[in-house]
Amino acid sequence: MDETDWTDIRASLAGDDDAFARLVERYEPQVARLMWRFSRDRVQCEELIQDVFVEAYLSLKSYRGDAPFLHWLRRIGTRVGYRFWKKRAKDKGRVPLSEVQGLAGKPEETDPALAGELLDALLAQLRPADRLVLTLEYLEGCSMKEIAERTGWNVAAVKMRAHRARGKLKKIAERDRLLETLPWTN
Amino acid sequence: MDELKALEELARQARKEEPPVRGVTARVLAEIRSRRRFRVWPLSVFAAASAVAASVLLAVAVHYWTSAPDPLTELCASFEVTELW
């Protein structure tokens, strides 16, 4: 546990807003990267980041410090993002893969934003729980144990869900002809 | 290459993406302050408003109680006490 974080957390609990502002500034880039996985709309994403920090502030008393502050923030971020997806599950739009253009000839030359957009278009077709597991696995690089810690689900359930979700995603990718969209797979 | 391998390659690239979002520190602090005000404000204001409303109601009730003729007195006044015997 970072001593600077502890100092700022204690000061925040005592009512020092500047201390909490320092925590926000310190962890905002990491939280922003996580919340970008949940919404690729800039305004919406900023609202989600704000929700994460406000929720963190309101439950700051419950932070015990047995894990780094960033881990705790990421757990809150995952919960906020998942709640957002569940709320919007009915009105999600679908971006056809054929509309995604400008992919490079090699995977490592592909624009990260374009790769993110393409992946998001595919993952968005899954149910929120399946989407969450695969988003954390593919885009956050989490292990099954880490996904279980972030979501509060047990490891066996996460493994099972990930396995099924991968199968569903493969079918979606086949139906949407993903391999034809990617120049480097031919 | 199968679909899942292709997705993994895409994910590897997507992880490098930097989100185009602006700083939210000021907004977070504003939201926290407004919530804090909201949490303290209604209790104290509700208590003060309730006390004022109760006092006004009590004053109005006392005023009417003392100024209006007592219906029981008026009813008894129409009888002669002797008639009752």
Domains of chain A and any CATH numbers: 1-91 (1.10.1740.10), 97-186 (1.10.10.10)
Whether B15 is in a domain gets the answer no
Q: How near does any CA of chain B get to the CA of A100, in Å?
A: 13
Q: Residue A3 to residues A6, A27, A65, A72: CA-CA distances in angstroms?
A: 5, 15, 10, 16
Classify residue B37: in a domain, yes or no. yes
Q: pLDDT for A68-81, tens place per residue?
A: 999 999 999 999 99
Residues of B with CB under 8 A from a CB of A: 1-4, 6-25, 27-29, 31-33, 35
* Residue B45 or A162, more confident: A162
Nearest of A97, A147, A152, A151 to residue A120 by alpha carbon: A97
pLDDT band at A98, cuts 50/70/90? low
In a domain, B35, yes or no: yes
Q: Which member of B16, B22, B25 has the closest CB to residue A24?
A: B25
Residue A138 burial by CB count (10 A; 0-12/13-18/19+): exposed, middle or buried?
buried
Residue B6 lies in a domain: no
Please report, in angstroms and rounded to a whole number, the separation of the first and last CA atoms in chain A. Answer: 48
* B62 belongs to a structural domain: yes
The residue range of the domain holding B33 is 24-84
Beta carbons of A161 and A148 less than 8 angstroms apart: no
pLDDT in tens, chain B (85 residues): 788 999 999 999 999 999 999 889 999 999 999 887 655 556 777 888 999 999 999 999 888 888 776 666 666 666 655 555 5
**How many alpha carbons lie under 13 Å from residue B28 in its C-beta half-sphere?**
27
- B2 falls within a domain: no
Number of separate domains in chain B? 1
Q: DSSP states of A66-107 as a string?
A: SS-HHHHHHHHHHHHHHHHHHHHSTT-----GGG-----SSG
